[in-house]
Amino acid sequence: MTALLEVEDLRVAYGKIEAVKGISFKVEAGEVVTLIGTNGAGKTTTLRTLSGLLKPVGGQIKFNGKSLKKTPAHEIVQLGLAHSPEGRHIFPRMTIEDNLRLGAFLRSDRSGIEKDIQRAYDLFPILGERRKQAAGTLSGGEQQMLAMGRALMSQPKLLMLDEPSMGLSPIMMQKIMATIAELKSQGTTILLVEQNAQAALSLADHGHVMEVGNVVLSGTGQDLLHDESVRKAYLGED
């Protein structure tokens, strides 16, 4: 059976600097797969390339069996690949509800859109309570919830999350990770980039460790969580 996402020998460059150097991995439907690694490893560049914001210089990306090589970003969203970016990128002067509706800009099924807005409020009750508030008045963690909710509004087959816990308090980080676990239990397929390696690997079916543009280690989330080199490098253990 074909994987939902297949990445093969992907290479991405900024000018003459190769940021991603021929990585390969796949994501099966219903899985959570995580990419971990230090800053500059190429994780965010990988996600930006998968969503069509950057063009690769080599390799293949297949989504649902279809090559994304010449597919523009808005068509990639239509195919079912949604990206909740690092830094959230919400629209601060718009209301929470209007931000969510923007996530459904390619849809025309009004009743379905209303249902998915309610689903976002069920996942993140604080957003429902403040739905008419300007999004810029939310805390960092609440803005992250909004960014995730907005990405879900496109009804993705695969949800990509880039550093969802970055800059959050420990309590808010736990809430975000609990929501990712809830989405997983609902059958959502997730590709997760996350600095908190322990939290990411605890959730993940499979993980890939990236260093300076290469995948240097792959395995199940549990195998990597207990791998001695991963524990020393990413979990702060001696």
Q: What is the mean pLDDT of residues 32-44?
A: 94
Which residues have CB under 8 Å from 18's CB, separation 6+? 11, 12, 57, 213
So what's the pLDDT on residue 235? 76
pLDDT of residue 232: 86
Secondary structure (3-state) at 222:
helix
The single-letter code of the amino acid at 21 is K
Q: How many CB atoms lie within 10 A of CB 14?
A: 9
The C-alpha atoms of residue 78 and residue 76 are separated, in whole angstroms, by: 5
Of 104, 28, 89, 17, give the one whose Cα is nearest residue 53: 89
pLDDT in tens, 136-148: 999 988 999 999 9
- Residue 238's pLDDT band, with cuts at 50, 70 and 90, is low
- The predicted pLDDT at position 1 comes to 62
**What pLDDT shows up at residue 91?**
93
Strand 32-36 versus strand 206-211 pairing type? parallel
Q: Which 3 state secondary structure label does DSSP give 55?
A: coil
Q: Is 18 strand, coil or helix?
A: strand
Nearest to 135 by CA among 94, 193, 80, 88: 94
Q: Which DSSP symbol is given to 130?
A: T
- What rounded mean pLDDT belongs to the chain? 93
pLDDT at 167: 85
For 2-14, the pLDDT digits (tens) are: 799 999 999 999 9
- In the chain, what are the domains? 5-234 (3.40.50.300)
Task: Give the pLDDT confidence of 203-221 residue by residue, as tens digits.
Answer: 999 999 999 999 999 999 9
